[in-house]
A and B are shown apart, each in its own frame.
Chain A
Amino acid sequence: MTTTQTQFETVIGLEVHVQLSTHTKMFCSCQNIFGEDPNTQVCPVCLGLPGSLPVVNKKALEFAIRIGCALGCKINSFVKFDRKNYYYPDCPKNYQISQFDKPICYEGAIDIPTEDGTHKTIGITRAHLEEDAGKLVHADDCSLVDYNRTGTPLLEIVSEPDMRSPQEAYDYLQKLKLILSYLDVSDCDMEKGSLRCDANVSIREMGATEFGTKTELKNMNSFKAVRTALEYEINRQHKVVLSGDKVIQETLLWDENKMMTVSMRSKEAAHDYRYFPEPDLVPFTVEQSTIDEVKHHLPELPEPKLNRFIDEYKLSEYDATIIIQERCKANFFEDCLKIYPDGKKVSNWLNGAVLQEMNARKSEITDINLTPERLVELIKKVDDDTISNLVAKDVLGMMLDSGKSSAEIIDEKGLAQVSDDGALDALIDELVNEHQNIVEQIKAGKDSAVGFLVGQAMKKSQGKANPKKVGELIKRRLLDG
């Protein structure tokens, strides 16, 4: 950052749209499903046909309350829907059913980590329920509309303008996604559009209390893209201001190929949504007992889980952080600990060899043919010297490929370590004959030369000789004799 740029402060607020993974849509009974042929998941409500009436999906409301509780939001006891009016072909009714002044959730917060090891709290202004719009594909000569996505339940989570750098925005998104992933309310897949993020960004002189003019960034399809787009846009705004011009309030699209923001130039009219209460839906009330019930059934959230893992299983913060990144992995870890006492060892396996196998197979831990029992059995085979750590990693790969247990594989492939004195003695005989000069060095007191012979023994035995045992036998023969 140049000296002229340091006189500015960045202000970022984020709007995150989460598609809720209910079976059906927000206001009708069409299936809520991604990737079907265009316009096969639609009904008169989706198409906004005259006479059709929306009815609220109870599950979507429950999911919204669950998310609100997990984000520390207050839940409105009186909730209503409103019409947001706009004309665009992705919206056949010419209005989107959304929530204007009575959002279901408000005033929450998310803590993000800071560089000095403490936390910064990012406020959540509100989270409201609404329906998704259809999908537009722009051809050369026309636009094509698919209404399958129309009516998909969305929760729009609006943050306070509390973030001061693209990295903070990135950390906020990571944390939000992690919490959401624990709640079973969305598949949070940005590639499928289940999680979408728009960013509002402005700059102001350091110390100023008024906000600068903001621009809205859209079309970022990953958290990294959000961060890069913000970096680009902040830089652009600096240049505009430093050249004496003013930032224009507008919507900009992030172009991932050109790595720049471009003006949207949409034919959608200026925003004047003329919200008014949706007459087709009656309001609803949320009882305190319902909220208590939801809170009671919330799963343990990532942060408490992290602290508990560090505390209860003596994991390092680093190891625990990786394990809790996925709820299914955290569960897997705890299931292992029910039958095996060493948390550090299990976490080394999960964050090491198992993670490598998961990445290689592009699969979750629940889809790689591994149970906690099988993993613990494998770890125990290393503990009791049946196999070395190195061989164990190969055995893991074979277990996942074949679905067999470690015992079966070790048996079938004859992978058990040779610890038997007689067999190892024969091996050492050969080595002593082949490496007379090394033998002399050992006898002369060069301890490191033993390591060379052990290495040769491992090579000859294709990894099966017990290295500890071989070392002991070599020393006994050459030094004690």
Chain B
Amino acid sequence: MISEDDVKYVAGLSRIYLQDHEVGSLQKDLEKIIGYVEKLQKLDVTDIEPTSHALPLTNVFRDDEIKPSLDRTETMKIAVDQRDGAFKVPKVIE
């Protein structure tokens, strides 16, 4: 069972701010989704390797060679606010 508190907790983890009326419908949706996944729990998967990736590829590497970084003027264009070349954000420590 998914409670309303579960919905609020999960939303909080992902920084999603819900209106009160949204919580109820999301609770039903989440229950359906979890219920569907729970069907899979009934299968015996003892000898099956967990799939860690959908692509049949391994060992994709890059050599340790430096390439130029972005120009800071370009980078800082995406900053909502900035100071002394750094991204300025609300204070995160008391």
**Known: A58-B63, A282-B58. Contact between A40 and B94, CB under 8 A?**
no
* Contact across chains for B66 and A277 when beta carbons are under 8 A apart: no
* Contact across chains for B88 and A144 when beta carbons are under 8 A apart: yes
* Contact across chains for A39 and B86 when beta carbons are under 8 A apart: yes
* Contact across chains for A269 and B89 when beta carbons are under 8 A apart: no
* Contact across chains for B58 and A23 when beta carbons are under 8 A apart: no
* Contact across chains for A272 and B13 when beta carbons are under 8 A apart: yes
**Neighbouring A residues of B42 by C-beta, 8 Å:** none
* Contact across chains for A143 and B66 when beta carbons are under 8 A apart: no
**Neighbouring A residues of B70 by C-beta, 8 Å:** 42-44
Chain B CB within 8 A of A136 CB: yes
Q: Contact flags (1/0) for A141-172 with B, using CB distance below 8 Å? A: 11111110000000000000000000000000
Q: Contact flags (1/0) for B64-94 with A, using CB distance below 8 Å? A: 1111011010011010010111111111111
Task: Flag the segment in A83-91, A230-238, A434-442 that touches B.
Answer: A83-91
Chain A CB within 8 A of B39 CB: no
* Contact across chains for A57 and B62 when beta carbons are under 8 A apart: yes
* Contact across chains for B78 and A144 when beta carbons are under 8 A apart: no
* Contact across chains for B88 and A142 when beta carbons are under 8 A apart: yes
Chain B CB within 8 A of A22 CB: yes
Chain B CB within 8 A of A38 CB: yes
CB distance from A132 to the nearest CB of B (A): 16
**Nearest A residue to B64, CB-CB:** A59
* Contact across chains for A145 and B89 when beta carbons are under 8 A apart: yes
CB distance from A8 to the nearest CB of B (A): 32
Chain B CB within 8 A of A289 CB: no
**Residues from 44 to 60 in B contacting A, C-beta threshold 8 Å:** 52-55, 57-60
* Contact across chains for A38 and B84 when beta carbons are under 8 A apart: yes
Considering the chains assembled together, what is the distance between the CA atoms of A30 and B92 in angstroms?
Answer: 27
* Contact across chains for B87 and A89 when beta carbons are under 8 A apart: yes
Binding site secondary structure of chain B:
loop
* Contact across chains for A279 and B54 when beta carbons are under 8 A apart: yes
* Contact across chains for B53 and A55 when beta carbons are under 8 A apart: no
Pick the most buried of B15, B55, B69, B81: most chain A CB atoms within 10 A of its CB. B69
CB distance from B67 to the nearest CB of A (A): 4
Q: CB < 8 Å: which of A55, A102, A139, A274 contacts B13?
A: A274
Considering the chains assembled together, what is the distance between the CA atoms of A97 and B78 in angstroms?
Answer: 23
Chain A CB within 8 A of B12 CB: yes
* Contact across chains for B75 and A39 when beta carbons are under 8 A apart: yes
**Neighbouring B residues of A37 by C-beta, 8 Å:** 72, 85
Considering the chains assembled together, what is the distance between the CA atoms of A274 and B12 in angstroms?
Answer: 13
CB distance from B86 to the nearest CB of A (A): 4
Chain A CB within 8 A of B36 CB: no
Chain B CB within 8 A of A351 CB: no
**Known: A37-B85, A42-B75. Contact between A85 and B13, CB under 8 A?**
yes
For A, the interface residue count at a CB cutoff of 8 angstroms equals 56
* Contact across chains for B86 and A38 when beta carbons are under 8 A apart: yes
**Neighbouring B residues of A279 by C-beta, 8 Å:** 53-54
**Known: A23-B64, A29-B66. Contact between A282 and B53, CB under 8 A?**
yes
**Neighbouring B residues of A147 by C-beta, 8 Å:** 87
* Contact across chains for B69 and A31 when beta carbons are under 8 A apart: yes
CB distance from A64 to the nearest CB of B (A): 13
Q: Contact flags (1/0) for A50-67 with B, using CB distance below 8 Å? A: 000001111111000000
Chain A CB within 8 A of B61 CB: yes
Chain B CB within 8 A of A138 CB: yes
* Contact across chains for A61 and B87 when beta carbons are under 8 A apart: no
**Neighbouring B residues of A40 by C-beta, 8 Å:** 69, 72, 85
Chain B CB within 8 A of A477 CB: no
* Contact across chains for B91 and A141 when beta carbons are under 8 A apart: yes
CB distance from A380 to the nearest CB of B (A): 45
Considering the chains assembled together, what is the distance between the CA atoms of A8 and B83 in angstroms?
Answer: 50
Q: CB < 8 Å: which of B53, B81, B87 contacts A39?
A: B87
Chain B CB within 8 A of A24 CB: yes
**Nearest B residue to A29, CB-CB:** B67
Q: CB < 8 Å: which of B64, B65, B94 contacts A265?
A: B94
**Neighbouring B residues of A23 by C-beta, 8 Å:** 64-66
Q: CB < 8 Å: which of B13, B57, B59, B64 contacts A57?
A: B64
* Contact across chains for A144 and B13 when beta carbons are under 8 A apart: no
**Neighbouring A residues of B87 by C-beta, 8 Å:** 39, 89, 144-147
Considering the chains assembled together, what is the distance between the CA atoms of A65 and B48 in angstroms?
Answer: 28
CB distance from B90 to the nearest CB of A (A): 6
Chain B CB within 8 A of A41 CB: yes
Chain B CB within 8 A of A285 CB: yes
Q: Can you list 5 residue pairs at the A/B interface with Cβ under 8 Å?
A: A55-B60, A58-B61, A266-B94, A267-B92, A282-B58
| Interface residues in chain A, defined as those with a beta carbon under 8 Å from any beta carbon in chain B | 22-24, 29-31, 37-44, 46-47, 49, 55-61, 80, 85, 87-89, 102, 136-139, 141-147, 264-269, 272, 274, 277, 279, 281-285
Lowest 10 CB-CB distances: which A-B pairs, in order? A59-B64, A29-B67, A144-B86, A58-B61, A145-B87, A55-B62, A38-B85, A282-B57, A284-B59, A89-B89
Known: A49-B78, A57-B64. 11 other contacts (CB 8 A): A23-B64, A24-B64, A31-B69, A39-B86, A138-B93, A139-B83, A139-B91, A145-B87, A281-B60, A282-B55, A283-B53
